[in-house]
Structure 1
Amino acid sequence: MQHINYLYPFWGSETDTIDDFIENIIDQGFNGIEIHIPNAINFENALYNKIENIKKTVPDFIVVPQQVTGVKLEAPEDYLVGVLKRLEELKRFEPNFINSHTGKDHYSFSDNCRIIEAIEAFSLKNKVKVYHEIHRGRFTFHSATTLTYLEQFPQLKLVGDLSHWCVVSESMLEDQASIIKEVIPHIHHIHARVGFEQAPQVNHPFAPEWEPKLKIFLGWWQQIVDHHKKKNNISITPEFGPFPYMPQSPFDQKPLAQQKVLNFEMKIYLQEHLKLHP
């Protein structure tokens, strides 16, 4: 029977202790975590120790660290040095896979290809899976240009967050079904967040005014699940984020919805609506 593993994002929980964060998501029925690990040795050690302890009782607990670099002016060669250094540091967590924000949208095709080649070589050498996230600002920022990289690297595995392509194309990708069909076989992990033409996140996916957008995303996610029916399992991170992804009311800066509640509710919604295969 096909199975979906649900991961919870650390994004938005930075004020929690790592103990409270992991215990809470286990209580909520999640199978693991996806986390952009702060580059701070005390936090990294606390996380490492917590994971080691958790796996004594939950050996299948899933750990997905993210490789994300900040925005700064740097040549592709310097960028790559930082990326490879971070990937080496993340190995200690024995990740199920690493989610990599790879390349930059303004680097040339050849520069991004050299970056991808180096990351894929790291993956092969260290036997660590690396998936490349569909995201604005990265080599995957645009649907059609992503296809050119997939032609060059047919083995690439992607994290599917199609909300970013909605924003870049200012559409719900109505005219790009053929591109999505070509990309889906490469998507091995889903970020379940609902976006629309003007932003990567609606204020509340279960508000009736957003139902048409939710149904579009559910259709894409179902196509991905269907494609991987022979793989037996796939993983999903409900990934509604805090401000600035979460809209705020003016002046008092109150979020229009509670991020954590949305992620908990999205897991339940997907468990009820995604059709699995025997």
Structure 2
Amino acid sequence: MRQFVVFQSLWAMQTEPGPLEAQLDRIVAAGFDGVTDHYWKTADVQRLHAAASARGLQIEGQVFPQSVDDLAAALEVISRYGCHHLTLQADVRPRTQAEAVRLIEGWQRLAEQVDFPILLETHRYRLTSDLLFTLDLLAQMPDLKLLADLSHYVVGRELPEPGASEDDEQIRTILRHSWGLHGRVASSEQVQVSLDFPQHQAWVQRFTDWWRYAIEDWLRRPDASHSLSFTCELGPPPYAITDAQGHEISDRWAQALKMKSLIRKVWDDCCAAR
């Protein structure tokens, strides 16, 4: 039976009080299934794996490779402990498709050697920064597995609202190649906006529709893995908008809980409609 798991980003918890263990207790009590965090340094991996496992939490690991060797070194550590999946924020900015393909093929060869999925995240100032460049990569490498954080394409390209049909189809192409999701609502001008403000509701609905499309597509795949993940990734300042005193203008923890409820309802609705 296929499952849906919702994670909370530990990056989003940086401004919360208490040590890692206290934060994980809060995450468990709120009903999350796992956490997302940097995951390649031996001591950090050991501590997070032990603390998360003791609480029944799964882990989405994040690494930031600049080369094939970088990922190989990280996997030497990660493979001893495992994770739900590993997300690559490829910290390179190739100017040519050939250079990008060479790197990705090297990472894919390594991915074949481990027993957890390795996904390439869509993210600004990374290999996947440009939407059209990434679409061209997918045309060459249709088996490339992505982790979709759509907020970066919305703000990076200043996608308009209401949207153009071409823009939506390009986003849907990304989603058809995505095997995990990061949750954040952006607007044309801001990478992270409040879910509650009236002026943002068109964007909340648009992201919800995209996520629904991603879930529906994943459920139709004959080769889908046993569980699809969605990370509530509401970052601290400067991602979070602040006032003149540097105070955040919305409650990110409350927003994460709202996003968790929203996406679980979308999942339930998608399953009920099958």
TM-score in terms of structure 1 length: 0.85
- What's the secondary structure of 1:148's corresponding residue? helix
Q: Which residue of 2 aligns with 1:72?
A: none
Give the letter for the 2:51 counterpart.
K
Of 235, 244, 247 in structure 2, the residue corresponding to residue 241 of structure 1 is 235
- Tell me, yes or no, if structure 1 residue 213 matches structure 2 residue 203: yes
Tell me how far apart the structure 2 counterparts of residues 18 and 110 of structure 1 sit (CA, whole Å).
41
How big is the shift at 1:40?
6.9
- Tell me, yes or no, if structure 1 residue 29 matches structure 2 residue 31: yes
Of 257, 267, 277 in structure 1, the residue corresponding to residue 260 of structure 2 is 267
- Tell me, yes or no, if structure 1 residue 183 matches structure 2 residue 185: no
Structure 1 residue ranges without an equivalent (≥5): 70-75
- What's the secondary structure of 2:80's corresponding residue? helix
4+ residue segments displaced more than 6 Å: none
Of 65, 68, 89 in structure 1, the residue corresponding to residue 64 of structure 2 is 68
CA contact (8 A) 1:103 1:112 kept: no
How big is the shift at 1:12?
2.7
- Tell me, yes or no, if structure 1 residue 223 matches structure 2 residue 216: no
Structure 2 residue ranges without an equivalent (≥5): none
Aligned residue pairs: how many?
Answer: 262
Tell me how far apart the structure 2 counterparts of residues 40 and 16 of structure 1 sit (CA, whole Å).
22
Q: Name the stretch that deviates more: 190-199 or 214-223.
A: 190-199
How big is the shift at 1:212?
0.6
- Tell me, yes or no, if structure 1 residue 88 matches structure 2 residue 84: no
Give the letter for the 1:201 counterpart.
Q
Q: How does 1:127-166 map to 2 (within 5 A)?
A: 127-166=115-154
Q: Which residue of 2 aligns with 1:194?
A: 185
Q: Name the stretch that deviates more: 167-176 or 185-194.
A: 167-176
Q: Which residue of 1 aligns with 2:46?
A: 45
Q: Name the stretch that deviates more: 9-18 or 128-137.
A: 9-18
How big is the shift at 1:3?
3.9
Tell me how far apart the structure 2 counterparts of residues 198 and 238 of structure 1 sit (CA, whole Å).
20
Tell me how far apart the structure 1 counterparts of residues 49 and 140 of structure 2 sit (CA, whole Å).
36
CA contact (8 A) 2:40 2:78 kept: no
TM-score in terms of structure 2 length: 0.86
- Tell me, yes or no, if structure 1 residue 6 matches structure 2 residue 6: yes
CA contact (8 A) 1:167 1:198 kept: yes
Of 113, 132, 135 in structure 2, the residue corresponding to residue 125 of structure 1 is 113
Tell me how far apart the structure 1 counterparts of residues 81 and 75 of structure 2 sit (CA, whole Å).
11
CA contact (8 A) 1:67 1:87 kept: no
Tell me how far apart the structure 2 counterparts of residues 273 and 44 of structure 1 sit (CA, whole Å).
32
Q: Percent identity?
A: 21
CA contact (8 A) 2:36 2:60 kept: yes
- What's the secondary structure of 2:208's corresponding residue? helix
The change in CA–CA distance for 1:103 and 1:242 in structure 2 (over 3 A counts) is closer
The change in CA–CA distance for 1:169 and 1:66 in structure 2 (over 3 A counts) is same
